[in-house]
Structure 1
Amino acid sequence: MAKIALDLEHALARRAREASKGATASRIVASGEGYSVADVLCTCGPGDAAFEERHGAFCIALVVAGAFEYRCATGHALMTPGAVLLGNAGECFECGHRHRAGDRCIAFHYRPEFFERLFADAGYAGRAPSFAGARIEPTRELASYVATAGAGVAASANGPDVPWDEMALSLAARVLRHFDGARSVEPKPLPRGALARVVDTLKWIDDAPDTALGVHRLAEHAGLSPYHFLRTFERATGVTPHQYVLRARLRHAAQSLADDPDKVVDIAFACGFADLSNFNRAFRAEFGVAPRAYRKRWQR
């Protein structure tokens, strides 16, 4: 399991040993004029009440581990690794863990006046700055941000530096462009029972992305017919089971390339890829660089 997810599992295990209530811990990893970046780790679970808060700033949060439900004025969405949570300044929101304990996000917060300038510079002058949806499903376009941010917070104190200031600006621009032609999240949430089956399946994938997991095996695990499972999974997460499994493997590989000295071929096989050339092709398509180049970037 990648270090970013392993830290969450350790926190959940510590909570279980101490029989304590779930809580959210936030650690600022970077800040600058008009923005801040926080590593947010939550140990709440099905026994904890959903918490309601208000976004004090515009928020773009990259989900790097776990799963939870998010509700705000622009929608109701299941947040999974690789997804992007969106929040407008001043907007009330609710997060809950009815079906699975724990999550970890890298949250970029933008002060309203700073975001207004970004919004205008991106070509939206004359309009009130806002996000049109609650979530962006895991996409290739944003995968490199999720991987880089996750590796950045997981690195040791002497690890490589992440250009958080550049990432904050670039990420905001990418998110705004996404809504130029994209639809917002599903307006109607799934029935609670169906959502619970999907979340249970997500944990199985996240815990062992290297396992051979086809749609029939996943459907059997969820107790649904393959056709019904496929529709339910895609509606809940925004991606197909195959896409989710592939991206889980690639995120795990990216973290291993940044953290571990193992050979690229060994990492590829350990993450569930049966062929090195397929792994190299999929990794380049997802992150824009070959695995060796990605590792060298972190070594520098």
Structure 2
Amino acid sequence: MKPATRILQSGSVSVVDYRCTCGPADRPFTEAHCHHSISYVRKGSFGYRWGKRSFELVAGSVLVGHPGDEYMCTHEHHGGGDECLSFQYTSELIEEIAPKKAWRVGALPPIAQMMVVGEWAQSVADANSDVGLDELGLMLGARLAQVTTGKTPASQKPTSRDRRRAVEAALWIDANAQEDIDLTTVAKVAGLSSYHFLRVFAAVVGVTPHQYLVRARLRNAARLLVESEQPITEVALDVGFNDVSNFVRTFGRAAGASPRAFRHAARGDRNFFQESAPPRT
């Protein structure tokens, strides 16, 4: 049994959460990859048979899929199943992210450079980071290229045109922060590919587009909490958070207190400043 939950459907990158409960008693069968994909194994173990090659994947391993390739997964080990976070890419992105040979490696063992991005991605999926999952997908692809070629991409200084595009994109995000925005959408506004735009925006603004979007929403939320009597649920939805619990958690990380406590501070509650002040050393 392989329950799959799509947790992101973006124009350039889609993310699927796979949770397999198969065991040694389950008979393996042939499957085929439908997309170029990078799947990070976050838990458990399984065998991967691809062509004449065989891999044993454990937590921290990476499975690299190529569309049309047939494969078979085996579950000879007792471990309660396995879980993977799979990033699927559109064909337009492939050559920009990594060379062709990178997509034919089959799988990679637990490699530190890949693992740190994979765990970061899982943290994003759990709503514990404000970077976008589509952004992490591109970062993971860049790491795949680095690991398979042994080359670190040369950093390029943004041109004056890049800087203008990044600033204009930031202004566009500010004006549309309440909408459902993904990396592909903003990249089109800037007239760049998603991969190139992510690198340019981060270099110029200092944060990723999704981080900037979240912070724009937090700015708007803080203002509404201070200036209005709207219920916190309405504030969250009005500024663009579709999940109220995610808003409360994200706002709490930023402000050091809940939205309700922050609003009380605006009403003159001095305890807020005492609670959110950094400890003395």
Alignment TM-score, normalising by the size of structure 2: 0.50
Larger-gyration structure (1/2): 2
Alignment TM-score, normalising by the size of structure 1: 0.47
